[in-house]
Structure 1
């Protein structure tokens, strides 16, 4: 199995990228880096990929475990080195679950399964950065 994308230059520092799924998205550098700030930042997209990968796992497990979750979101913060090229050396992933009757034990297990077993992006991140995870329950 492989994934193939095409990133097409749209002038200045802007690129439009395909995805193996539907649609395209635009990447651009911030104005302080010579871009127009009219697109997503490539390094931050890595954090979005991490959240999306783990989130898809957890959404599947919530359904499979028949858990009563009203909503959830994932906050990811990545810390970059000061030297060039700047790379992520530490990442904090916060899982926020909302609901009146949350099964904290089962949700913790769902997060653990994603983090330890299912999320390939998490495994990739662990090869170059320290990854810290937190779970926050909101009733």
Structure 2
């Protein structure tokens, strides 16, 4: 008779992190990976919570775009995601519109492949984008290719 607990699929296990108040409106967040980030509503010791959501979206989409372009054997040297967002005028001041503009720099990078990478990220892979859109945020995308 085995006393071992059944193995769980890591994807079905809950992520666990924490946020600990430091002082004033400054908090220290610890991600499930153990990495720490300063969160500051006054923007003195870290980014605000809403700024972190915006950066999380940019990071998620950029991760996808880079991975797709690398798989497509594109010679990329730099990928930058420029984010702009509009928030509601009333409390809660949620995001209503977010635009991601990708600037992809590389040698002989094909515009068609960049377009496809951005489209795949937006429509299929970026969890943050899908989650925000499901909550009513209008998320739009554009890109440009810069030759190096």
Of 103, 106, 109, the match for 2:113: 106
1: distance between equivalents of 2:76 and 2:46?
Answer: 32
Instruction: Tell me the residue number matched to 2:53.
Output: 46
Moved over 3 A (4+): none
Unaligned runs of 5+ residues in structure 2 are 1-11
Deviation (angstroms), 1:106: 1.0
1:8 is aligned to 2:23:
no
Please give the per-residue CA displacement for 1:10-34, whole angstroms capped at 9, x wherever unaligned. Answer: 011111001122420110122xxxx
1:134 is aligned to 2:146:
no
1:17 is aligned to 2:20:
no
Instruction: Tell me the residue number matched to 1:63.
Output: 70
Instruction: Tell me the residue number matched to 1:33.
Output: none
Instruction: Tell me the residue number matched to 1:27.
Output: 39
Using structure 1 for the length normalisation, give the TM-score. Answer: 0.90
Matched residue count: 134
Q: What is the DSSP-based 3-state SS (H/G/I as helix, E as strand, rest coil) of the residue aligned with 2:107?
A: coil
Find the structure with the greater CA-based Rg: 2
Deviation (angstroms), 1:90: 0.6
Deviation (angstroms), 1:110: 1.1
2: distance between equivalents of 1:78 and 1:21?
Answer: 28
Instruction: Tell me the residue number matched to 1:73.
Output: 80
Higher strand proportion: 2
Using structure 2 for the length normalisation, give the TM-score. Answer: 0.85
